[in-house]
Structure 1
Amino acid sequence: MNRELHKVAFVGTGVMGSSMARHLLDRGFEVSVFTRTREKAEGLVSHGAVWKPSAGEAARGADVVITMVGYPKDVEEIYLGDNGILPNAEKGAYLIDMTTSTPTLAKQIYLLAKERGLHSLDAPVSGGDIGAREARLTIMVGGDKEAFAACQPIFQALGTNIIHQGEAGAGQHTKMCNQIAIATNMIGVCEALAYAETAGLDPEDVLKSISSGAAGSWSLSNLAPRIIAGNYEPGFFVKHFIKDMEIALDEADKMGLDVPGLSLAREMYVKLSASGEENSGTQALYKLFQKKSTN
């Protein structure tokens, strides 16, 4: 482990962040944590982490500050607020935002960090709760190559597919590509299972046949079994997925790119959220198809 990057502050210990922070503890990093609801961090504290009362307090003295929160407005608040990360981080520290946020905000944080002698990387992830739990996340990184190289010990503790995508904001743009692909794929997964059920097939047997062929995907292999089991617990929240799709739609609009599949997926997930499923996992989209098949 790189001795220069020994002290890590981790801000945001939700569904994925708690597993990620635990991996760092297991690798021997000295980890401090902050999350708005302290109870969510109790498991990490009992595992050796040190609780801090604010993002700024966590950042003080840290070699690396990692953030994994919900929305761009949360990122803006914890980085730019008076008791946030930028005003309190030590000169030379590395700031890694692993939240799925906007490329524009990533660039803004990068420039402000550079003015303060800090290194900023936008490094959103893919892999959901399973990838976080098993340290098999895909990590998409934007920012300076030198900072990316320096933070390899951190990234390697959290994921297996770690790629530098380009300058600041490139990591977030890449995550938008990921979310666009997932959005329409989830419609296909749900339609396929609904078709199998309506045709009187055994969904588990159907899944065995189609998941290893040309139709195979991460969602089909990992989320379709949850659908079949009636498990709609969040590996990734519906409300956060809608946020991601809206970011992607906004960025696509700025570039003059038409994304009709993404528009349809957002429309369907907004309908799902309005039915009370905003805190369910993204696989809960299947419930819309169940309602149609019973009408």
Structure 2
Amino acid sequence: MVFLSLHAENTVIGFVGTGVMGKSMASHFLNAGYQVQVYTRTKEKAEELLVRGAMWKERISELAASADVIITMVGYPSDVEEVYLGAEGIVSHAKPGTFLLDMTTSKPSLAKKIYEEAKKRSLYSLDAPVSGGDVGAREARLTIMVGGDQEAFDRVEPLLQIMGKNVVLQGGPGAGQHTKMCNQICIATNMIGVCEAIAYAKKAGLDPTRVLTSIEAGAAGSWSLSNLAPRMIAGNYEPGFYIKHFIKDMGVALEAAKEMGLLTPGLELSKSLYEELAAKGEQDSGTQALIKWFEGKLEK
């Protein structure tokens, strides 16, 4: 393999998707001195990056043809497939030697398909979903789970370190997505426990903030408890991660688990509760809004 040098002075980063997390992730490359090109379906979402010097591309195909590294952070597996494998997609228009990093949480099987199609065109594809939410993206502290070839990973690891601090190659194509499914399964049932604990504390007449101070430092400690329970207590349901996207992730995990013959009853329960929230109009709230179910605050 012959790889491009990926130094800031000679590398163009193409970024597709500048939503809640993608905007912060792309901004770190501007801070590091890279040329950044962006495309998103709603141009207004990229405005902050454009003001800071990012270049707007009207079509994904234009971005693909001019970037050396292309990073995608979109919504659903169907979006990923269109962005990479559609007629105007990245795989058809990127120049040979380009690195493709899909950081969307998507299907392991789709990651493998993109890898195979990219390989035919001398493109280096890695699936690299993330965990850490809006705070992790903003503070460049994301956990990044990668699937793909070792040599390609070695070349892009310094770029991934610009966005995150826990960057691990988990295996071949699709391994990053499988690892993200493990992450989402843990979160799904943990969120039920966090909500039940906060609801219990309130029913018992305790100060939930004081309770949190005690239990987050012990065996019950978790990222969700420390980062999302305070938002629940404050009644802050702004999205660090959308409920609609979490439902998507759980659906992907359930599908993959079924293909492997694995039972995941906790995951099924969590998905059913979040689907009830979405049906009550909470699909664009943050995942911490699950507390509304336990406190009986959903719209009738």
Partner of 1:2: 6
1:181 corresponds, among 186, 189, 200, to 186
- CA shift at 1:213, angstroms? 0.3
Output the TM-score relative to the length of structure 2.
0.96
1:233 partner letter: E
Partner of 2:169: 164
Query: Is residue 229 of structure 2 the alignment partner of residue 224 of structure 1?
Result: yes
- CA shift at 1:292, angstroms? 7.5
Matches of 2:238 and 2:61 in 1, distance apart? 32
1:143 partner letter: G
Structure 1 unmatched ranges of 5 or more: none
Partner of 1:278: 283
Matches of 2:145 and 2:52 in 1, distance apart? 28
Output the TM-score relative to the length of structure 1.
0.98
Matches of 1:55 and 1:172 in 2, distance apart? 23
* Equivalent residues of 1:54, 1:84 under 8 A apart: no
Partner of 1:142: 147
Show CA shifts across 1:236-281 (max 9, x none).
0000000000000000000000001000000100001101000000
2:198 corresponds, among 193, 210, 214, to 193
- CA shift at 1:151, angstroms? 0.2
Aligned pairs (5 A) from 1:36-75: 36-75=41-80
1:265 partner letter: S
| Count of aligned positions | 294
Runs of 4+ with deviation above 4 angstroms: none
Structure 2 unmatched ranges of 5 or more: none
Matches of 1:25 and 1:59 in 2, distance apart? 18
Show CA shifts across 1:8-29 (max 9, x none).
1000000000000000110111
Matches of 2:153 and 2:6 in 1, distance apart? 13
- CA shift at 1:54, angstroms? 1.6
* Equivalent residues of 1:182, 1:219 under 8 A apart: yes
Aligned pairs (5 A) from 1:127-138: 127-138=132-143
* Equivalent residues of 1:66, 1:97 under 8 A apart: yes
1:25 corresponds, among 8, 27, 30, to 30
- CA shift at 1:57, angstroms? 1.1
Query: Is residue 115 of structure 2 the alignment partner of residue 110 of structure 1?
Result: yes
2:159 partner letter: I
Query: Is residue 212 of structure 2 the alignment partner of residue 207 of structure 1?
Result: yes
1:260 partner letter: P
1:71 partner letter: Y
* Equivalent residues of 1:33, 1:58 under 8 A apart: yes
Partner of 1:259: 264
Matches of 2:34 and 2:105 in 1, distance apart? 24
Query: Is residue 97 of structure 2 the alignment partner of residue 98 of structure 1?
Result: no
Aligned sequence identity (%): 64
Matches of 1:2 and 1:291 in 2, distance apart? 52
Partner of 2:126: 121
Matches of 1:204 and 1:6 in 2, distance apart? 47
* Equivalent residues of 1:123, 1:171 under 8 A apart: yes
* Equivalent residues of 1:122, 1:168 under 8 A apart: yes
Matches of 1:46 and 1:284 in 2, distance apart? 33
Matches of 2:181 and 2:220 in 1, distance apart? 22
- CA shift at 1:43, angstroms? 0.3
Q: CA RMSD in A?
A: 1.4
- Once the two structures are overlaid, the 10-residue window that deviates more, 212-221 or 2-11, is 2-11
